[in-house]
C-alpha cells in the first residue's frame, strides 16, 4: 500500500462510523440524527491480496466497502469546515464483521469486527489535496458482480463533520484511519468468495483511483473454545447481515403488500365486523383489550413492529436501560404505515412512551402506537395526530418498572399475541390483530357482511322484525340479492 510512493505507518487508532450513507440507513429502517462510532484494533489491518478466514463455526461474515480517510495533520477541536484539511489521503477499505458474534459484543463490535485481517485497506492512497470530498465514489464487487455503488454525495454526515465531531474529545494523529461507513448493498460472503472494493473520483482530472482492494475468503479451522462466548445467530441477525429477509432465504417479512387500496378497504369496515370474520375462522383471541385511544375518532391501519419491556432489575437496567437502548432503536426504526406495539405486561405504574418519542413516531410516518402500559406527557401525546392506544397516563419514567429489552419479536399486548408484520386495525371499539395471510379474505368477507347489515338495518328501520331477517333466511336472501342489483 503506497501513499505518494511511501508506505503507510501502522495507525495509532482506527475509528469506524456506524450508519453514514442514506441508502444504508433507509435499508436498515433508521436514519440517525448524528454520527456514532466504534473502534477497530490496528491488528485488524490487512492489505490487498490477503486472505481472510471466516472463523470456524460462524455463518455470517459480512463485507462493507468503504472510503477510508488517512489523517495527515494533527486535529483537535476543529470545526466541520476545517475537518477535511486534516485528511492526508483517501483509500479503499472493507469493514468485515461476523454477525454471529454481535450478541457477545453487546454493541461494542470488539469481537465481531476486531479480528485479525478484518480491516483490509488499500492498495493505493490518493492524496486528499485536490479531491472533492463530496464527489468520491465507492464500489464493491462480489465474485465479479457489482453489489455496492454509491457516492459521498449520499452521505448523511460529511467527512468534515465526522472529523470535527471526533476531534471534540480525542486528538486525531497523522496515520489514524477513519472508516466512513458503507452504502446499501453490504451482504454475506462465504469461503471461496472474492470481494473487491475501489474508491475513485470520476469527476476529477485523470479520474484518480485507489485500484481494487482484493480479499479472498477462506474457511477457518480453529474452533472457539469454551472459555468465551461462542458464535450464535438468529433470523434477525441473518436478515441484517444479508441485507433483507429475502436475501437471507427467510421469505418476506410481510408476505403481502399492504397497499393503499387494501388499507382503504380495511378502513371501510369496523373492528367489530373484522372480529366476527376472524371468529368464523376460529380466531377468538385477536383483540388487544383494555386500552384507550388518544384519537378515538381516527382509524388505525398498519403493520406491527414490536418492542418488549421486561420487569426492572437494577443491574439489567444499568446495562440495557441507558444510551441508545431498545426503546429508542424501536422508534427510530419505524417507517410509514408501521404500528409500534409494546409489551409492558399490563403494568400501568410508569410511562412506556412520552411526547418526544411519540412525536418521533409521527415524524417517521408511523400509523400508530399501542402499549398496554402507561403514557407520560399524556396531554401532549393526545395533541399529536398519531393515535396512541394506552392503559392510562402516568408521570414516572420507564426505569421505575421496565427495562426496554428487545425489538421485532413476538410480544403479548393487551391479552393477545402480536408478531412483526401482523396487521393492526383500530377504531373506537378497540384493536384487532389480523394474521397477514388472512387479511385479504377477511376484509373481503367483512365488506360483504357490512353490505348485508346495511340492508338488514334498512328493513328494521322500516318496521320489519328480526326473525328470519337477522340472520337472513332464504326468502330474505333472495330479497337481498334484488336489493344489491338495484344498488349497482
Q: Is 217 annotated as a binding residue?
A: no
pLDDT value of position 338: 94
Q: How far is 50 from 167, CA to CA, in rounded Å?
A: 32
pLDDT value of position 8: 54
Q: Is 451 annotated as a binding residue?
A: no
Mode of pairing for the β-strands spanning 338-343 and 368-371: parallel
Q: Which of helix, strand or coil describes residue 303?
A: strand
CA 88, 89, 90, 95 torsion-angle sign: negative
* CB neighbour class for 355 (10 Å; exposed up to 12, middle 13-18, buried from 19): middle
Q: Where are the domains of the chain?
A: 2-242, 285-434, 450-487
Q: Is 355 annotated as a binding residue?
A: yes
Q: Is 357 annotated as a binding residue?
A: yes
* CB neighbour class for 82 (10 Å; exposed up to 12, middle 13-18, buried from 19): middle
DSSP 393: B
pLDDT value of position 179: 98
Q: How far is 424 from 350, CA to CA, in rounded Å?
A: 24
pLDDT value of position 9: 62
Give the per-residue SS3 of 153-186.
HHECCCHHHHHHHHHCCCCECCCCEEECCCCCCC
pLDDT value of position 254: 44
Domain 285-434 belongs in CATH node 3.50.30.40: yes
Q: Is 434 annotated as a binding residue?
A: no
Please provide the CATH number assigned to the domain covering 2-242. Answer: 3.90.850.10
Q: Is 97 annotated as a binding residue?
A: no
488 residues of the chain, pLDDT tens digit each: 444 333 356 799 999 999 999 888 887 777 888 999 999 999 999 999 999 999 998 999 999 999 999 999 999 999 999 999 999 999 999 999 999 998 877 778 899 999 999 999 999 999 999 899 999 999 999 999 999 999 999 999 999 999 999 999 999 999 999 999 999 999 999 999 999 999 999 988 999 999 999 999 999 988 888 888 888 888 788 888 888 777 777 654 444 678 889 999 999 999 999 999 999 999 999 999 999 999 999 999 999 999 999 999 998 998 888 888 889 989 988 989 999 999 999 999 999 999 999 999 999 999 999 999 999 999 999 999 999 999 999 999 888 999 999 888 899 999 999 998 899 999 999 999 999 889 999 999 999 999 888 999 999 999 999 998 888 898 888 898 888 888 87
Q: How far is CA 283 from CA 433, 437, 472, in A?
A: 10, 13, 24
Amino acid at each position: 500500500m503506497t501513499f505518494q510512493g511511501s508506505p503507510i505507518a501502522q495507525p495509532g487508532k482506527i475509528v469506524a462510523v456506524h450508519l453514514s450513507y442514506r441508502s444504508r440507513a433507509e435499508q436498515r429502517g433508521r436514519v440517525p440524527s448524528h454520527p456514532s462510532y466504534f473502534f477497530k484494533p490496528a491488528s485488524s489491518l490487512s492489505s490487498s491480496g490477503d486472505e481472510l478466514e471466516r472463523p470456524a463455526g460462524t455463518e455470517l461474515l459480512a463485507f462493507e466497502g468503504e472510503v477510508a480517510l488517512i489523517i495527515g495533520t494533527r486535529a483537535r477541536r476543529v470545526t466541520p469546515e476545517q475537518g477535511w484539511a486534516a485528511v492526508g489521503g483517501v483509500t479503499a477499505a472493507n469493514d468485515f464483521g461476523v454477525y454471529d458474534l454481535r450478541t457477545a459484543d453487546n454493541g461494542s463490535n470488539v469481537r465481531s469486527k476486531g479480528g485479525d485481517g478484518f480491516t483490509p485497506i488499500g492498495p493505493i492512497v490518493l492524496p486528499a489535496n485536490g479531491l472533492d470530498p463530496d464527489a468520491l465514489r465507492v464500489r464493491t464487487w462480489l465474485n465479479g458482480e457489482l453489489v455496492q455503488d454509491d457516492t459521498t454525495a449520499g452521505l448523511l454526515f460529511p467527512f468534515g463533520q465526522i472529523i470535527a465531531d471526533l476531534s471534540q474529545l480525542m486528538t486525531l494523529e497523522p496515520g489514524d484511519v477513519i472508516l466512513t461507513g458503507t452504502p446499501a448493498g453490504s451482504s454475506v460472503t462465504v469461503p471461496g468468495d472474492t470481494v473487491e472494493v475501489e474508491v475513485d473520483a470520476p469527476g476529477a482530472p485523470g479520474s484518480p483511483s485507489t485500484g481494487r482492494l482484493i480479499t479472498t475468503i477462506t474457511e477457518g479451522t480453529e474452533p472457539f473454545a469454551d472459555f468465551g462466548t461462542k458464535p450464535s445467530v438468529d433470523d434477525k441477525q441473518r436478515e441484517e447481515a444479508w441485507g433483507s429477509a429475502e436475501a437471507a432465504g427467510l421469505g418476506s417479512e410481510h408476505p403481502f403488500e399492504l397497499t393503499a387500496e387494501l388499507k382503504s378497504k380495511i378502513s371501510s369496515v369496523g373492528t367489530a365486523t373484522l372480529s366476527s370474520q376472524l371468529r368464523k375462522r376460529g380466531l377468538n383471541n385477536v383483540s388487544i383489550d383494555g386500552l384507550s385511544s388518544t384519537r378515538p375518532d381516527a382509524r388505525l391501519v398498519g403493520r406491527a413492529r414490536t418492542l418488549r419491556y421486561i420487569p426492572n432489575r437494577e443491574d439489567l437496567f444499568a446495562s440495557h436501560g441507558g444510551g441508545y437502548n431498545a426503546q429508542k432503536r424501536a422508534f427510530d426504526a419505524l417507517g410509514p404505515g408501521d404500528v409500534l406495539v409494546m409489551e409492558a405486561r399490563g403494568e400501568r405504574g410508569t410511562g412506556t412512551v412520552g411526547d418526544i418519542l411519540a412525536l418521533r413516531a409521527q415524524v417517521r410516518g408511523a400509523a400508530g402506537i399501542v402499549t398496554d402500559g402507561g403514557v407520560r406527557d399524556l396531554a401532549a401525546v393526545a395533541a399529536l395526530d398519531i393515535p396512541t392506544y394506552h392503559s392510562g397516563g402516568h408521570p414516572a419514567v420507564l426505569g421505575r418498572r421496565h427495562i426496554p429489552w428487545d425489538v421485532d419479536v413476538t410480544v403479548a399486548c393487551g391479552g393477545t399475541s402480536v408478531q412483526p408484520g401482523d396487521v393492526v386495525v383500530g377504531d373506537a371499539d378497540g384493536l384487532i390483530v389480523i394474521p397477514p395471510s388472512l387479511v385479504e379474505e377477511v376484509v373481503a368477507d367483512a365488506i360483504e357482511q357490512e353490505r348485508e347489515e346495511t340492508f338488514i338495518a334498512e328493513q328494521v328501520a322500516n318496521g320489519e322484525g328480526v326473525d328470519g331477517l337477522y340472520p337472513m333466511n332464504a326468502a330474505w336472501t333472495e330479497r337481498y340479492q334484488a336489493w344489491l342489483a338495484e344498488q349497482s
